[in-house]
Amino acid sequence: MEFMDIPTELTTAATNAVIVVFMLAFITYFRRFGNKDRWKVNLWVWAAGLQCVAVFFGTIVHGFKLPDTTKLILWQPIYLSLGLLVAIFVVAAIYDVWEQAAARRMLPIMLVIGVTFFGVTLIWTNSFLVFVIYQAVAMLVALGGYTWLASKKRLEGAWWMAAGIVTSIVASGIQASKAVSFTLIWPFDHNGTFHLILIVGFIFLTVGLRSAILAEK
């Protein structure tokens, strides 16, 4: 395989690769806390794993010259992983707001919604727009939950979680607009910028999650 000869595609692939490393480190770190609340920790580990799968295939799609048919095939695990990732993220937020019993009841429902989203991408020509809408609704629901938890001081790290979600929403907006590009040693387009901001959001979420888990009795 040959590397892409479009500089912005290479920086998009590189930032995807950085996210892969970040997610692997996230999984390794938080698996240590399984004795605190294994079910909750596993939710976040699965979410990170799905993110890792999506950005791994994204690295290949953006980083290498591939036939259109191959790209189309590679986008399928990306959309499936992202659909399930968003679903599990919502369940994790439900866990923090309404505790484990409610989260367990919602898990199969949200997984069906995630798979349904994937099914829609198979027949909808503008799949990315579908994902933006799906993700935006889920993120706003989660943001409302963590903002409420933070205001009531019911969860350590909730403000960090809310900040991470806001950052992710901003990143998604920039990617959807396709209007941002800049050069910082290397040229970045809207996709690379999205990844850079998303990494900041992941850091906020990691700090918040760590605070919440360590505060559990």
- The string of pLDDT tens digits covering residues 20-35 is 999 999 999 999 886 6
Kindly compute the dihedral angle of the four CA atoms of residues 96, 47, 113, 90, in this order, to the nearest 10 degrees. 20
pLDDT band at 125, cuts 50/70/90?
Answer: low
Give yes or no for residue 52 having a pLDDT over 80.
Answer: yes
- Burial, 67: exposed, middle or buried (Cβ in 10 Å; 0-12, 13-18, 19+)? exposed
**CATH of span 7-215:** 1.20.1070
- Alpha-carbon span 94 to 142, nearest angstrom: 8
Give the pLDDT of residue 124: 79
Give yes or no for residue 127 having a pLDDT over 80.
Answer: no
What residue spans define the domains of the chain?
7-215
Written as one letter, the residue type at 65 is: K
DSSP H helix total and E strand total for the chain: 6, 2
> Residue 130, Cβ neighbours under 10 Å: how many?
18
pTM metric for this prediction = 0.94
pLDDT digits (tens, 9 = 90+) for 162-215: 999 999 999 999 998 888 999 999 999 999 999 999 999 999 999 999 999 999
Give the pLDDT of residue 217: 62
**Residue closest to 43 by CA, chosen among 31, 59, 57, 61:** 31
**Residue closest to 87 by CA, chosen among 129, 40, 139, 126:** 139
Percent of the chain with pLDDT over 90: 83
Give the pLDDT of residue 131: 81
pLDDT digits (tens, 9 = 90+) for 140-164: 999 999 999 999 999 999 999 999 9
